Amino acid sequence: MKKYDIVLAPDPILKTKCDPIERIDDEMRVLMDDMLHTMYDAEGIGLAAPQIAINKRLLVLDVDQGKDGERGKPMVFANPEIVWSSEEPNIYNEGCLSIPTHYAEIERPKIVRVRYLDYDGKQQEIEADGLLATCLQHEIDHLDGILFIDYLSNLKRNIIIKKMKKMKKNVQAL
């Protein structure tokens, strides 16, 4: 399986709206498997296609995995769409594989209903609560070029971006 490099913020790739997937075929399933492999390897609970520089509405997640990257319940969502969200909010301390070492408390709807195409290209609908709901909304945001730091004040966001720029410079210098 292929392991992709994860795009780090700030990067224009992460600010681009992604295109819908037209067909779930074997090529797409290989990409789904590779994205899961990349996510587990990076010890993340979710990964969206733009984070590996692919401009497609596709995300993978697993909010039930064990501490040692042991697989819980891998899930793939193609063309996910939020069709309903609760008024009741939930706050979660979010992080992102594209913004490593930075976390912030973000408020989002507690429950969402999401329509999507699954691994076999079948249309499904899921009602998600708790961490799964937060993770789905975070990853769907990625498909629209939105990062969790976009919900922070300009001041807080700029501090994180400045630190990320510095970090990327150091990575490139290695």
Residues engaged in binding Zn ion (CB under 5 A): 96
Q: Is 125 a catalytic site residue?
A: no
In whole angstroms, the minimum distance from the beta carbon of 119 to Zn ion comes to 21
d(CA 124, CA 115): 6
E strand segments, 62-144:
75-85, 89-94, 104-109, 111-117, 123-129
* Cβ-based nearer residue to Zn ion, 15 or 174: 15
Least distance from Zn ion to the Cβ atom of residue 48, Å: 7
As a whole number of angstroms, the distance between CA 53 and CA 63 comes to 23
In whole angstroms, the minimum distance from the beta carbon of 23 to Zn ion comes to 26
Nearer to Zn ion, 96 or 140 (CB): 96
By CB neighbour count within 10 A (0-12 exposed, 13-18 middle, 19+ buried), where does 45 fall?
A: buried
Q: Which helix (H) or strand (E) holds 110?
A: none
Which residue is nearest to Zn ion, using beta carbons?
96
Q: Nearer Cβ to Zn ion, position 97 or 123?
A: 97
Instruction: State the catalytic residues.
Output: 139
